[in-house]
Amino acid sequence: MSNKIVIRDCRIVDVSQDIDSSGDIIIENNKVLDLVVHKPGLKPDYADFEVVEASGFMAMPGFIDIHTHLREPGFEHKETIATGTLAAIKGGFTSVCPMPNTNPVNDNPTVTTFIIKRAMKRGSCNVYPIGAITKGQNGEELAEMGMMLEAGCVAFSDDGKPVMNALVMKRALEYSKVFGVPLISHCEDMSLTAMGVMNEGYLATLLGLEGIPRSSEELIVSRDIMLAGYAGARLHIAHVSTRGSVDIIRRAKASGVQVTAETCPHYFTITEDAVKGYNTDAKVNPPLRCAEDIEAIKEGLRDGTIDVIATDHAPHHADEKVLEFDRAPSGISGLETALSLSLRLVDEGVLTYSDLCKKISYEPSKIFGIGKGTLKKGACADITIIDTKKEFIVSKSKLLSKGKNTPFEGMNLMGMPVAVVVKGKYINVLEL
């Protein structure tokens, strides 16, 4: 395709400019040249441009997933940078931020550079790595954040594990403050999680499975908020799953702590009931909770307590998920269902399309300083084009991710990406 493209006659939703109107997006090279909002009688002529007719579709600044597991290096049987980024664009994400729990762990600039170079060579979308907080994610010695930032990391996390030692977390927050980047906390008190594999409660007892109490998450949410407040540092809470966490974060924000938070589509869509039948595709950490948690998470999204919708795309090999429930790894393959599940929130009146744009593009960019999430003139041309009315049934066999571990198999969903533009390159995702 040419380097001069017009996405014509779509509904443009761009919260960064407070736009929700029909119009045309003009792209030249890899940048947004202009947005033409339609006015009666105005019919611009785009003689030199390749025109993509998009009437009936919606366009937003490209989605950014700040919580993805691409598994490379080390776990290529679960996912690779090539397959994970292909799944990302299929799901409408033009940028992803891979977590550091690879092998070797992304705790030094060599691994960061490897990921970036591999993504440039084999990736389908932009990749902004997240470095580890501690060496080897062992929770003991701080990793070289400065060097990893120089190599291209955008934030730090030991995701998959908490930083259990409060002194280490305090020092990590103080250190990250020097660079002004957020630390992402995987909130889990391992002494409370112990051998737990699903939400603690009646169902866990019935199934004979060890439970993970909500307090396992909430204690570390509280602790890290206190430490961030003390250090004056930026904290981002990963994968919020409980009503209590939403309350704690809401109060912390009101008191001025620099805290942001994300949740994932599975935490506002399904409950622990999905585990019935020992369904390992519904085994995830933190675990799926209950209806009251879903309600609180929706309210948190609605009132801005939860800033971001992220996927926590955690692909695993089918041979690993076929194990007994307590032996199977935690994780849900999320990139290719996130948009459709999030659109249900618009349908339910929890979010507007502009809110969705904010939570899946604008805020992720702002929090991680990525400089995207907008269709302003001169911005990088990263765009997601959606058919909000297209219905489909989730099918593992159609996922482009190597990870087929979705608990949404067979679910009827509405709304899917039809195309993306990544750095000015138009990709019809329906042909992937």
Are the CB atoms for 211 and 199 separated by under 8 Å?
yes
* Long-range interactions of 378-381: CB distance < 8 A, separation 24+: 378/31, 378/32, 379/31, 379/32, 379/61, 380/30, 380/31, 380/32, 380/423, 380/424, 381/27, 381/30, 381/31, 381/32, 381/421, 381/423, 381/424
Query: How far is the first Cα of the chain from the last one, in angstroms, to the nearest whole number?
Result: 16
Q: CA-to-CA distance for 191 and 188, rounded, in angstroms?
A: 9
Q: To which residue do tokens 């992304």 refer?
A: 106
Q: CA-to-CA distance for 293 and 296, rounded, in angstroms?
A: 5
CB of 239 to ligand DOR, least distance (A): 7
CB of 48 to ligand DOR, least distance (A): 47
Closer by beta carbon to ligand DOR, 8 or else 402:
402
9 a catalytic residue: no
CB of 68 to ligand DOR, least distance (A): 10
Closer by beta carbon to ligand DOR, 184 or else 345:
184
Give the interface with ligand DOR as residue ranges (CB under 6 A): 69, 101, 159-160, 186, 284-285, 314, 329-331
CB of 270 to ligand DOR, least distance (A): 14
Closer by beta carbon to ligand DOR, 32 or else 284:
284
Q: To which residue do tokens 């704690």 refer?
A: 248
CB of 299 to ligand DOR, least distance (A): 24
Closer by beta carbon to ligand DOR, 158 or else 363:
158
Q: CA-to-CA distance for 313 and 333, rounded, in angstroms?
A: 5
Give the three-state DSSP class for 248.
helix
Neighbours of 105 (CB within 10 A): 22
Which of 159, 293, 312, 355 is labelled catalytic? 312
Closer by beta carbon to ligand DOR, 54 or else 212:
212
Residues labelled catalytic: 312
